[in-house]
Structure 1
């Protein structure tokens, strides 16, 4: 009988010890809808069709990157289920897809969805539901508003900051410029246009004509004709890829050769320059924060070696000339970094906490010296850019890295 009591006591003691040891580990595992011991469900909305379908390459690159992560064992042992839907760049459709992702698919968060007006249409919903709307693929300034919208965060530099850089460049290099602006007549174009005017300040009268176009228009040819007729000798294209390529072609067709500045979102060699024509694109200006996948100067770069290996193994059909591929890779890499930082606390609160705690993170495809930093009161991960000029078949960087406040940070490598 004493032996039996001893055995029972030993078993109970062992059980108590196991419970004591395992309880802290179990307690650390916290999940919200969309996360478990084995899976992390991530939602995404992209214009796989419609007027901005050139950006589809971003969603495809992100999916391929998550496939890579899964093949390597996942994130802290959990596989990513990436659910990406098409909204055709239509805000009502974006609302429909966001509700489907949150209420039917049960995603933990929505990551990297593209577009200013489209994301604007779901921002209130995402914040009311307290579901992260993370690393929005749009440079609108409004994504950096943690007080009013604590569940929404951008990723790329703001359009307004980029436009201010161009304003400073024009005032320095061509102080007598007559500026014509071709802009998309929506939140994207208006945000950019405001930044340009703010950058020009008292000299905003340098703008001789603002020509807005709607994404429903088949072409912007008539707008380009009006800008030339207004006497503009500087053309700023605040356009998405399809219309940027059209503007380049039309300007060449009518023998108009202004200083041409492209917004960064349309600076893709594969998505804009190559379709428009290399010969007629020489000398076009833009600004960037990512490396150019088509530029041989990056062939020996360690980060780009990883990127090229990724393409070869996980996304062999991708066009490395397409800036969207480089963008998607870096954005997905940032998302994975945040999820790693979350450890076993995969709650939506913790995801936003970690997203707002990034320090000097450098995705493989960002330009040297450009780093991602966030804070609870700073939801603008990237705030640096470099000017560049198209030459030959690639972009040539020039000048220093400039912060969003137009401060020179340091000289970078240039060819």
Structure 2
């Protein structure tokens, strides 16, 4: 609208005359009827357990579209398989942006995969929104204003485990297994930062693995032989299950701290063996769908109804389906708040304007908050221990000291 037409509209309002609505504003990937949203997910390869996240978001968008869309627009959710392979992620991301013409890419999964396209998104000024990894690098609006994380960052979670050890097992001898990339290194940095001056004394062994490795058996033998009585397990689902089984095979009985990205009962603990998983400690920020405490909870009942209606083939014991539903509802809120200004800049503006947002399946006391200088939406977690059938929450909702720097 020009300055003259705006003045005319103001004058018309003063005279009580009707004024035509301002026209909607669109970037590529949006129109009066549709918003195209892209996604990359490992539906194949070593991290395929995470594929249920992409399937959950797709099922959530089916629900949105069946109910009339968002502000009258249908969501065209295009999710492509990248196999957790950075070169494939580059290829699929270019396809989404340059061929499909999506407005944004949301919930791309994986630290190494997202790292491969981090600069691409920011050079193209295309939102890389609610990245499905807790690396701290996703919260750097000054240098990467088109990228934002969603889940608690890995350094914060590592600090939470460190604080637990300092309070409950200050003489622990810690052995660490971690994936040899930013994801693994971020978790280890959080642990070391949390232990502070005691880190060098308490950490007695570290082993790494590559995502292409078939097993981590030799690393587990080395860690057991270090004399450690505490195991910090920084692995993705396939290797987390292997580690749990190997600990039992070796007759090792350490205190077991398992990173949250692999604490799904259905995808990790069940294949590893519930009996072998007893006593494992992790951290949650979402309601575990296997926890009977939520049986009559409105969030859980809403999630269950959605699963039965829109994702009947999904695994109801898989925490990744709860994750997918929660993050999808965050995306919905941001798009809703865009109104008729469906531009990439407004998408990032609205994503950075969330205040005390509660979405289904977040634990009580945990809300989503962002700002122009705060690209870390969720910053709280609660410790849990597996009792052989479910995670049992204990202690208060916790926060680590936010860290900066680089890190499934």
Answer yes or no: same fold by TM over 0.5. Answer: yes
Aligned equivalent of 1:168: 163
| Cα distance in 2 for residues equivalent to 1:350 and 1:21 | 28
| Cα distance in 2 for residues equivalent to 1:344 and 1:289 | 32
**Partner residue of 1:127 out of 122, 137, 151:** 122
Write the mapping of 1:9-408 to structure 2, written as runs, cut at 5 A.
21=18, 23=20, 25-27=21-23, 29-205=24-200, 206-405=202-401
User: Structure 2: any 5+ residue segments left out of the alignment?
Assistant: 1-11, 403-408
Closer, same or farther: CA 22–31 of 1 in aligned 2, 3 Å: farther
Say whether the 8 Å CA contact 1:157–1:404 is kept in structure 2: no
SS of the equivalent of 1:61 reads: helix
Q: Identify the range of structure 1 (77-86 vs 169-178) with the bigger mean alpha-carbon deviation.
A: 169-178
Say whether the 8 Å CA contact 1:51–1:88 is kept in structure 2: yes
Larger RCO (alpha carbons 8 Å, 6+ apart): 2
SS of the equivalent of 1:145 reads: coil
Say whether the 8 Å CA contact 2:40–2:89 is kept in structure 1: yes
User: Structure 1: any 5+ residue segments left out of the alignment?
Assistant: 1-15, 407-415
Structure 1 position 383, deviation (Å)? 0.2
| Cα distance in 2 for residues equivalent to 1:363 and 1:262 | 25
Structure 1 position 21, deviation (Å)? 4.0
Say whether the 8 Å CA contact 1:74–1:80 is kept in structure 2: yes
| Cα distance in 2 for residues equivalent to 1:291 and 1:323 | 8
Say whether the 8 Å CA contact 2:160–2:399 is kept in structure 1: no
Query: How many pairs are equivalent?
Result: 387
Structure 1 position 320, deviation (Å)? 1.4
- Give me the TM-score of the superposition, normalised by structure 2: 0.93
Larger CA Rg, structure 1 vs 2: 1
Say whether the 8 Å CA contact 1:159–1:195 is kept in structure 2: yes
| Cα distance in 2 for residues equivalent to 1:269 and 1:44 | 25
| Cα distance in 2 for residues equivalent to 1:179 and 1:121 | 32
Root mean square deviation of aligned Cα: 1.2
Structure 1 position 352, deviation (Å)? 0.5
| Cα distance in 1 for residues equivalent to 2:258 and 2:399 | 19
SS of the equivalent of 1:399 reads: coil
Aligned equivalent of 2:4: none
**Structure 1 segments of 4 or more deviating over 4 A?**
none
| Cα distance in 2 for residues equivalent to 1:404 and 1:335 | 25
| Cα distance in 2 for residues equivalent to 1:221 and 1:326 | 31
| Cα distance in 1 for residues equivalent to 2:101 and 2:400 | 36
| Cα distance in 1 for residues equivalent to 2:225 and 2:245 | 17
| Cα distance in 2 for residues equivalent to 1:238 and 1:109 | 30
